[in-house]
Structure 1
């Protein structure tokens, strides 16, 4: 064999060794982000977790975020036993702080739905809003108590120009009104609460409620979303040799499992390279 041909062969073998060495590095999927454990189907970044969730949940600068077409939201908690995540809209109001809001929604086809126990409360709605003509508000006694408590017990309601009222629910005339959005409307497309379209000033979401008269201290504010449990990892399947990688992803689903070269293959390639270099030295002498 000519020396140039042998040199080309040696170069190719060296590249193969480098490629196989880089492939042996462990795929890094962080086990947590911002103090929140990341178990399957969620992951810290692209290539981790189930592919269907990668565009919605991501870890950025130590914070776990939830992404939808309406904005970026902080993930407050994940309850794996109930398949629920709780997120916080930075433009959402609470009893202690109120501000004008835009919209919040889920895209069609998302592996999330609004949890049935969410109370989405629209505040400062115009009397001409389609909410009332279309009967989109919950008319139960509990819904009326929620609105009355917000209007009576939350001083922050004045921050959006609303005067506290003894009857905030569906006020008449020019009085700002309150509406607990019917939960059934959030179970069908377009899965969105659009405040400007509904002629409302702001909204809040309550996923846990203590005393009805203590909205500032005993209510839990946030948006609870149920995620599709069919994507959770089967308990019957062992984690195998790389548990952290399994928690983050399954290769067949995310298509991101790195190739791991056998150390015997790397050793064989190295021996082949030594043989080639020895032959080159003999030919050159």
Structure 2
């Protein structure tokens, strides 16, 4: 699963070098995201850096990088952030007890196992180890959970599976779970092979979405040449993952888990461009 790591604003406000060393370790393509804890995390970093680096070029460089930080790096889960401005480290530890982080990177050491002092970070630290492949159970909840940062942040979601059919229960469950976790108003494009009756597939999608709670956005169906399709993906405008088997559940228990791989930036861009528009055969409001 994607790692969600809390980062003490004071830990990245000491210098531009410290800021860039830590921040560059995060992003969808790295399998690690900085928790938006609190929601004003950027503002707290700016405040801490301004106090420490006022009048320096380093401050300007930090401010510019902060401005460009997007949801591909900073992940919001609606954590409350109570007490962060008074004692960020203790507030993060308290929040970890409620809803665990993968790690908490701090400006000063603490005894709690989840806490990592920024000065102790290097490429061999467990919290920074490679996190781009996972074995995920082929259940709707597990599949949607592993993609949650992509679904909750993306304005456009692309589901790619040459055999997708929302009328089949093993596809319908994950499909509805993906829709449930998307951000309000996000649009979902489904790409599948063209060896089917388009009207039949569209009607089955319409029936599947007819009973869900309206949150805005659309579902669109695109057909691609069947021979050109093989890989299965869930993509948003910032990154994506590939499913080795498919976007369907396993009810037989013959292949109960799938190997899910986080796409690096180059492969993600290539797949995003491959599945970009084309002939939309059906569209539904959701």
Question: Quick check: which one's helix share is greater?
Answer: 2
- Structure of higher CA gyration radius: 1
Higher relative contact order (CA 8 A, sep 6+): 1
- TM bucket (normalised to shorter chain) is under 0.3
Question: TM-score w.r.t. structure 2 length?
Answer: 0.25
Question: TM-score w.r.t. structure 1 length?
Answer: 0.25
